[in-house]
Structure 1
Amino acid sequence: MHRAVFLDRDGVINKALMVDGKPYPPRNLDELEIMPGVDQAILQLRDLGYFCIVVTNQPDVARGKTSLEAVESINQFLIERLAIHEIISCYHDDHENCDCRKPKPGSFIMAALKYNIDLSKSFMVGDRWRDIAAGQNAGCRTFFIDYQYNEKQPTNPTYRASSLPDAVKIILNECL
């Protein structure tokens, strides 16, 4: 079986847009800014044999705040620029109660089946409580990147890191 590092998109791969202490996704390619060192960090993970899979909630599509085409153009840009295997997006809002919306583990389970991934040997890197809870619900070890958002905080992440490159350093030093 394979190992994976699941990555949240906004706040881990690219900068989130901040409004009143809360993070929001870029609405288009003009607002997209890839975080420093992310490209090299993903290459390091791939070199270590990890699948790199982005798992992202994009409820603004269901809320009518952005278009499916805008989100998919951002995702396509990231796939073309970074060594990620796949981006799995959930376009639902909470009230739809789908299995793919974090904190539920449906997207992780789908990826595990597709790529023959052992979730217990995998990681989730995220910047919000939903990311950490989803990783925990899937049986992964978790990395919380704490930007001090003005929102609910996660419960008991396995590790804390300042960025994806920092999380990769911890994986290299403690987890192999």
Structure 2
Amino acid sequence: MKKAVFLDRDGVLNEVLTERVKFVNRPDDLYLLEGAAEAVAELTKAGFDVFIVTNQGGVGLGFMKERDLKKIHGRLEELILEKGGAIREAAYCPHKPKAGCECRKPNPGMLLDLARRHDIDLSASVMAGDHERDIEAGKKAGCKTVFIGEGETSADAKAPSLQAAVKDILQLLAD
């Protein structure tokens, strides 16, 4: 079994709720956060598979089609690849926020599914996100956790950006 890094998308890799973009509903709405692609490149070069795990209730609410979400993820993967990083797979929950599904964070369904399909040791892996629901999903799956942002958290580590978190993520993966 291998170790992996699971990343939330909005607010960790790309802008959301900023002056430039409210929600990412089209590839043209996608703006990477400073240093995010380089951070993924560092994790990739260190030998770890990087996965995206993201709630995308806009699909279930009708704000975008699943095919558009796949185009957004394709664009995200291209931008990261340009900096030398790689996304192994982008998993998403397309259900409405109150659908009660197992895949929507804070539930661990997406992480458990990825671990099963990619032979990942969750207890040796890291989940990073900018909301406590990301941290909760990681903990429920048995991962170590890193909070990206400010404020109180139950995560194992905390950093202001993904780029600043790389050192902590690599340390948690080494433990």
Q: TM-score, normalised by structure 2?
A: 0.87
Counting matched residue pairs gives 168
Amino acid at match of 2:13: I
Deviation of 1:18 (Å)? 4.0
% identical aligned pairs:
40
Match of 2:74 among 73, 76, 80: 76
Partner of 1:114: 117
Where do 4+ consecutive residues of structure 1 move more than 4 Å? none
Alignment of 1:1-176 (within 5 A): 1-18=1-18, 25-82=23-80, 83-147=86-150, 154=153, 156-172=154-170, 175-176=173-174
- RMSD, aligned CA: 2.0
* Unaligned 5+ runs, structure 2: 81-85
Tell whether the 8 Å contact from 1:143 to 1:158 is kept in structure 2 after alignment: yes
Amino acid at match of 2:72: I
Deviation of 1:135 (Å)? 0.5
Which structure's residues are more often strand, by fraction? 1
Tell whether the 8 Å contact from 2:7 to 2:128 is kept in structure 1 after alignment: yes
* Unaligned 5+ runs, structure 1: none
* Secondary structure in 1 matching 2:58: coil
Q: TM-score, normalised by structure 1?
A: 0.87
